[in-house]
Amino acid sequence: MNKNALVKKIESFGLIIISTGIALIYWRIESLQLTESSTRWITFFLFIGYGVFTQYFINTYRRMAAEIVTLSITDSLTGLHNRRGFLALAEQQLKLLRRTKRVMLLFFADLDGLKWINDTLGHEEGDRALIDMASVLQETFRSSDIIARMGGDEFTVLALDPDEINPEIIINRLQARVDAHNNQANRKYKLSISVGCSTYDPEKPSSIDKLMASADYLMYEQKKNKKTRPDG
């Protein structure tokens, strides 16, 4: 269910409850057999209160609906987009790129040695490694790029209309950030990341699934040649 549909359902349900409550109050007033003047004044204030409360209700539940939608597309550990959020945003960007004929880079990254960290140092330390990796990605890429944790030790980044279209330059920049983090952090392990990248060519349009599969393959090719235990 999208945000607008959720908001409409909440508003409709809430307005039914409010309207029913107002009707019951008005029926109760009528049964008291008050003077016509008193009834008019009470009715007037009831409708004023109805309007104020209804607006408050709508604003409150719109905010709640927005928060629910945000939570559904956000990774709770790192604060990045989750898989669902990434795929939704990626599809939107792909439609835009087809019209504007712009280039996009898709990076698929894997945090090396997460299982070793979890098994040896505990899952709390593993969570910290994931959070650190998310921070490194955010420092490397622009705020306009789409960064997500796809689950487990996997991350993806959509670099939209990048200033540098050579993936190797960006991957080297990312590795430099990882190295800088390792030099500063006081950990019993070093962050290590394997990265693959695929390019969206506007002259040869491709789907997000194909771009991800291509980047994933290149990432695993890099991982094969690396030492995966991060305690060195």
Residue 202 pLDDT class (50, 70, 90 cuts): confident
Query: Would you say residue 13 has pLDDT above 70?
Result: no
The top-level CATH class assigned to 83-224 is alpha beta
Percent of the chain whose pLDDT exceeds 90: 47
Q: Where are the domains of the chain?
A: 3-72, 83-224
Least Cα distance to 113 among 97, 101, 126 occurs for: 126
pLDDT tens for residues 143-154? 999 999 999 999
Q: What is the pTM of this model?
A: 0.70
Helices (H), the chain: 3-31, 36-72, 83-100, 114-121, 123-140, 167-184, 208-224
Query: Would you say residue 33 has pLDDT above 80?
Result: no
CA distances in angstroms from 75 to 71, 134, 216, listed in the order given: 8, 11, 20
